[in-house]
Amino acid sequence: MIRVALAVAAGGAVGSVLRFLASSWVAGNWPRHFYLGTFAVNLVGCLLIGLLSGLFLTRTDLPQELRTGLITGVLGGFTTFSSFSLEIMKLIEGGRAVEALGYLAFSIIGGLLAAWAGLSLARLAA
């Protein structure tokens, strides 16, 4: 169990740093659209979690440390609902309610579609 916990911790560090770098890059290049970094990592994360979950269903021989470290650690650190929620509140408080609602809708629908696409890709590869 300790090895799985260490894999999650290490993966979480990697995922968090990747999210920070992506968000920083977007905010530096498009400050008005600061939220697109979180939007992008959430969609990519949903795609990857669907893909990896599907692949891991057929690859039970892979170590639990690897499977849990990637899904719970890396992708858990990479995607974030708390930042997403805060960014929506900032948009609303900034008088950009329509943009906030669009971000909310596209994130949820896009995330579901990305997770479905990842699972479908995994099934095609099986």
Distance CA 35, CA 27 (A): 8
In this structure, are residues 106 and 50 in contact, taking their beta carbons and an 8 Å threshold?
no
pTM above 0.85, yes or no: no
DSSP state of 94: T
Position 125: which residue type? Answer: A
In this structure, are residues 74 and 16 in contact, taking their beta carbons and an 8 Å threshold?
no
The pLDDT assigned to 29 comes to 96
- Known binding site: residues? 76, 79
The pLDDT assigned to 116 comes to 95
Q: Does an H or E element contain 71, and which?
A: none
Alpha-helix runs per DSSP H in 30-96 = 36-58, 64-68, 76-78, 81-93
- Known binding site for Na(+): residues? 76, 79
Q: Does an H or E element contain 99, and which?
A: helix 97-125
For the chain, percent of residues with pLDDT exceeding 70: 100
List pLDDT tens digits, range 59-110: 889 999 999 999 999 999 999 787 788 899 999 999 999 999 999 999 999 9
Distance CA 83, CA 102 (A): 16
